[in-house]
Amino acid sequence: MQELELKVAEAYQNYFVGYQNFWSILSISLTALFTWLFFLKSGFTYIEHLVINAYIFLHTYWLFGIALLANAPDGWIMLLYFGSYIVMMLAVFRGLTGKRWISVFLRLLGANVIAISLFSVLLAGLIIWVVL
């Protein structure tokens, strides 16, 4: 069992951490696809959603970097990362679409749950393929 855990950890390190830029672009692309689908009537194209989501990810990573440089405890770093991501998504999409907060929140929740689920399945599939 420990051998399998080591193989999974090694695959994760080699293929996720080693190709962080690729996974970031894939993550932004998937999130943009689903925000575009959930906000289809807002009039923005998929390319514009790519730019919007890249903007949000940039600011989220920027705050994440500051937390790392400030040597914040791990729990606070993750709280800051996810908290800033949620606040940025809500603020940006609320400002761009003019929709009610609850409508924006529910649409973003749906888009992100699907995008994160698909991203996780892709990553897990890659790790299983590499390990086996």
pLDDT reported for residue 1: 67
Quick one: average pLDDT of 7-20?
Answer: 73
Q: Of 89, 99, 100, give the one whose Cα is nearest residue 49.
A: 89
Measured in degrees and rounded to the nearest 5, phi and psi for residue 83 equal: -65, -45
Q: How far apart are CA 99 and CA 105, in angstroms?
A: 10
Given a cut of 90, whether residue 30 has pLDDT beyond it is yes
Question: How many residues are present in the chain?
Answer: 132
pLDDT tens figures, 40-74: 999 999 999 999 999 999 888 887 777 777 777 77
Contact 66, 49 (CB under 8 A): no
Cα→Cα distances 60→3, 7, 8, Å: 36, 31, 28
pLDDT at position 81 over 90: no
Give the pLDDT of residue 87.
92
What integer pLDDT is reported at residue 102 of this predicted model? 96
pLDDT higher than threshold 90 for residue 90? yes
With 80 as the cut, is the pLDDT of residue 31 above it?
yes
Residue-wise pLDDT tens digits, 94-131: 999 999 999 999 999 999 999 999 988 988 887 777 77
- At residue 83, the pLDDT reads 86
Q: What is the mean pLDDT of residues 72-99?
A: 87
Q: How many CB atoms lie within 10 A of CB 103?
A: 13
